[in-house]
Amino acid sequence: MSQRRIFYFDNNATTRVAPEVVAAMTPFFTEYWGNASSAYAFGNQVVKDLDLAREKVAALIGADPREIVFTSCGTEANNTALHSALVTQPGKRHVLTTAVEHSANIKYCEFLRRRGYDVTFLPVESDGSLDLHLLEKSIRPDTAIVSVMWANNETGVLFPLEEIAAICRSKGVLYHTDAVQVPGKLKVDVDELGVDFLSLSAHKLHAPKGVGLLYCRYTAPYHSYLIGGGQEKGRRGGTENVPYIVGFGRAAELALASLQDEDTRIRALRDRLEQTILTTIPDSHRNGGRDARLPNTSNLTFGGCEAEGILLLLDREGVCVSSGSACTTGSLAPSHVLTAMGLSPARAKGSVRFSLGIYNTAEEVDYLLAKLPPIIARLRGAAVDASPSTVSTTTASSLAAPVMA
Ligand SMILES: *Cc1c(COP(=O)(O)O)cnc(C)c1O
């Protein structure tokens, strides 16, 4: 564990747990550590804290608290939505999704395919957007569910959820969205959106890793993914993770309060970072349309560079960024999101994601803007040499990269 200062620009991978969240959680480790399902007061006194947390996360997304099922993570929420739709509609064996979903969805869909289900992965345009006519045409009588994410974790590109939900409603098909990247950055209102299922993960909004939720509209059919005790009104077995759920509730309150900061200050920091890089570093390009995008994310390609090398040299300066999603970092495979947008494998591998958060400052952006250009120049010089210089050797060697989210 290093103690040196870090410059953290990887908030789409995970976020720092807010001190307010730690404070809210601590009593549930040290004092109120009983089982919420116990008959005695020492255990079940925490039920009211679970209820309060459920109200807070419901308020974050405009839901009724009874429509919230707490899960262990965003991945479980995504898996549960698809599982539910398929188990409750056994005659329907088709899933419609996109080629740019998080691996928490893509890999589950690939698993479903191996189990004999039919899955369509919709392509995207070069700016990352979806062709909604194609989406509509791809819904079949046997489509059990449409699962299309809201904000892409790699590029920040936003899909038009309300329009997609309206198409699904008109076709009478369930709609799930992976909205893990959205709360705290944009307003979320499940009724305005018109979705049936929506997934969130707490560690993307300054709460700990290991807790998430699935919003399930009243009218949506539901089937448990984890089968066990009768927790979550029989919808998800497993003893309630009280401290984490309480932390999630506190983080939901903070996320509502930080919406304005994300939309103004963080958006301005991101725009300055992106504009300065694009205008000062030759052969640098933005991935994804400029406007329909999260305010905190910038995904850029540096021609003639490998992102692994950029990450390694930035890491030496204490800067944390990501190449594509952290799940694929270290695998040296080009990002499936960027290749779906038409980038060549080489261009995709030269791409870096910068994702800002509420704790980033203008001074940190200045630091990054000072460190990056010489690193790109150095890597390009090494590439032109084509000699086994120290840089290209380290670039080729495998990175001890964290495999996170
Ligand atoms: C991080 C992330 C997930 C996975 O959430 P976990 O809680 O880490 O399982 C799913 N979808 C998106 C878009 C994400 O960014």
Atom 8 (ligand 1): residue with closest C-alpha?
A: 405
Average pLDDT over residues 110-137: 98
Q: Is residue 380 part of a domain?
A: yes
In the prediction, which pLDDT does 405 show?
A: 40
Measured distance CA(179)–CA(200) in Å, rounded: 6
Q: Answer for the pair 255, 61: CB distance below 8 angstroms, yes or no.
A: no
Strand ranges inside 72-193, DSSP E: 94-98, 118-122, 143-147, 174-178
CB count in 10 Å sphere of residue 317 = 14
Single residue among 199, 222, 257 that ends a domain in this structure = 257
Atom 1 (ligand 1): residue with closest C-alpha?
A: 405
Give the model confidence (pLDDT) of 202-233 as tens digits.
999 999 999 999 999 999 999 999 999 999 99
* CA of residue 72 to ligand 1 center, whole Å: 11
Q: Is residue 79 part of a domain?
A: yes
The answer on 132 and 32 residing in a single domain is yes
395 pLDDT above the threshold of 80: no
Q: Answer for the pair 2, 347: CB distance below 8 angstroms, yes or no.
A: no
* Cβ neighbours for 128, distance < 8 A, ≥ 6 positions apart: 100, 152, 155, 157, 287, 288, 289, 337, 341
Q: Is residue 1 part of a domain?
A: no
Burial of 297 (0-12, 13-18, 19+ CB in 10 A): buried
* CA of residue 216 to ligand 1 center, whole Å: 18
244 pLDDT above the threshold of 80: yes
Measured distance CA(179)–CA(198) in Å, rounded: 6
Measured distance CA(306)–CA(110) in Å, rounded: 28
User: Which of the four pLDDT bands, split at 50, 70 and 90, describes residue 384?
Assistant: low
Q: Which residues form the domain of 393?
A: 7-13+259-404
Q: Is residue 25 part of a domain?
A: yes
Nearest in space to 9 (alpha carbons), one of 399, 364, 395, 356: 356
Q: Which atom of ligand 1 is nearest to the CA of 404?
A: 8
Structure tokens at 143: 């489509």
CB count in 10 Å sphere of residue 24 = 22
User: Which of the four pLDDT bands, split at 50, 70 and 90, describes residue 385?
Assistant: low
Q: Which atom of ligand 1 is nearest to the CA of 13?
A: 1
Q: How far apart are the first and last CA of the chain?
A: 19
The answer on 202 and 153 residing in a single domain is yes
| Paired sense of beta strands 7-8 and 319-320, if any | parallel
Q: Is 81 in the pocket of ligand 1 (CB under 6 A)?
A: no
Measured distance CA(399)–CA(331) in Å, rounded: 9
Q: Rounded to 5 degrees, what angle do the CA atoms 63, 69, 71 make?
A: 130
The answer on 217 and 81 residing in a single domain is yes
Instruction: Determine the residue of 10, 102, 161, 199 to mutate for testing ligand 1's pocket, defined as the one with the most ligand atoms within 8 A of the Cβ atom.
Output: 102
328 pLDDT above the threshold of 90: no
Q: Answer for the pair 237, 227: CB distance below 8 angstroms, yes or no.
A: yes
Distance of CA 51 to the CA centre of its chain: 26
Q: By mean pLDDT, which of 22-31, 54-63, 346-355, 389-398 is the weakest?
A: 389-398
In the prediction, which pLDDT does 401 show?
A: 41
In the prediction, which pLDDT does 1 show?
A: 61
The answer on 293 and 227 residing in a single domain is no
The answer on 297 and 241 residing in a single domain is no
In the prediction, which pLDDT does 262 show?
A: 85
Number of domains comprising the chain: 2
**Residue type, position 184, single letter:** G
Q: Which atom of ligand 1 is nearest to the CA of 202?
A: 7
The answer on 182 and 40 residing in a single domain is yes
Instruction: Say which CATH number the domain at 327 has.
Output: 3.90.1150.10
Q: Is 73 in the pocket of ligand 1 (CB under 6 A)?
A: yes
In the prediction, which pLDDT does 4 show?
A: 86
Average pLDDT over residues 319-344: 82
CA distances from 209 to 75, 182, 253 (A): 11, 16, 17
Structure tokens at 333: 């495979």
Q: Supply the DSSP symbol for 281.
A: S
Structure tokens at 20: 């307010």
The answer on 147 and 32 residing in a single domain is yes
Instruction: Say which CATH number the domain at 252 has.
Output: 3.40.640.10
**Residue type, position 160, single letter:** P
In the prediction, which pLDDT does 399 show?
A: 40
Q: Which atom of ligand 1 is nearest to the CA of 76?
A: 9
Q: Is 153 in the pocket of ligand 1 (CB under 6 A)?
A: yes
Q: By mean pLDDT, which of 5-14, 95-104, 254-263, 277-286 is the weakest?
A: 254-263
Average pLDDT over residues 238-265: 95
Single residue among 257, 272, 305 that ends a domain in this structure = 257
Atom 14 (ligand 1): residue with closest C-alpha?
A: 180
Measured distance CA(130)–CA(124) in Å, rounded: 5
Q: Is residue 339 part of a domain?
A: yes
Q: Answer for the pair 129, 157: CB distance below 8 angstroms, yes or no.
A: yes
Q: What are phi and psi of 199, to 5 degrees?
A: -100, 140
Q: Which atom of ligand 1 is nearest to the CA of 211?
A: 7
* CA of residue 361 to ligand 1 center, whole Å: 25
Average pLDDT, the chain: 93
Q: Answer for the pair 350, 303: CB distance below 8 angstroms, yes or no.
A: yes
Q: Is residue 2 part of a domain?
A: no
* CA of residue 393 to ligand 1 center, whole Å: 33
SS3 at position 384: helix
* Cβ neighbours for 22, distance < 8 A, ≥ 6 positions apart: 247
The answer on 212 and 266 residing in a single domain is no
Q: Is 185 in the pocket of ligand 1 (CB under 6 A)?
A: no
Average pLDDT over residues 72-76: 98
Instruction: Determine the residue of 157, 181, 403 to mutate for testing ligand 1's pocket, defined as the one with the most ligand atoms within 8 A of the Cβ atom.
Output: 181
SS3 at position 159: coil
The answer on 80 and 225 residing in a single domain is yes
pTM recorded for the entire structure? 0.93
Q: What are phi and psi of 135, to 5 degrees?
A: -60, -50
Q: Is 74 in the pocket of ligand 1 (CB under 6 A)?
A: yes
Atom 6 (ligand 1): residue with closest C-alpha?
A: 74
* CA of residue 256 to ligand 1 center, whole Å: 20
The residues annotated as belonging to the active site are 327
Give the model confidence (pLDDT) of 346-375 as tens digits.
999 999 999 999 999 999 999 999 999 999
Which ranges in 299-389 belong to alpha helices (H)?
307-316, 336-340, 345-349, 362-385
The answer on 253 and 263 residing in a single domain is no
SS3 at position 284: strand
Q: By mean pLDDT, which of 6-15, 26-35, 388-397 is the weakest?
A: 388-397
Q: Is 325 in the pocket of ligand 1 (CB under 6 A)?
A: no
In the prediction, which pLDDT does 330 show?
A: 57
The answer on 181 and 42 residing in a single domain is yes
Single residue among 257, 279, 300 that ends a domain in this structure = 257
In the prediction, which pLDDT does 389 show?
A: 45
Q: Is residue 248 part of a domain?
A: yes
Q: Is residue 253 part of a domain?
A: yes
Structure tokens at 8: 């953290």
The answer on 234 and 193 residing in a single domain is yes
Biggest alpha carbon distance in the chain? Answer: 73
Average pLDDT over residues 17-41: 97
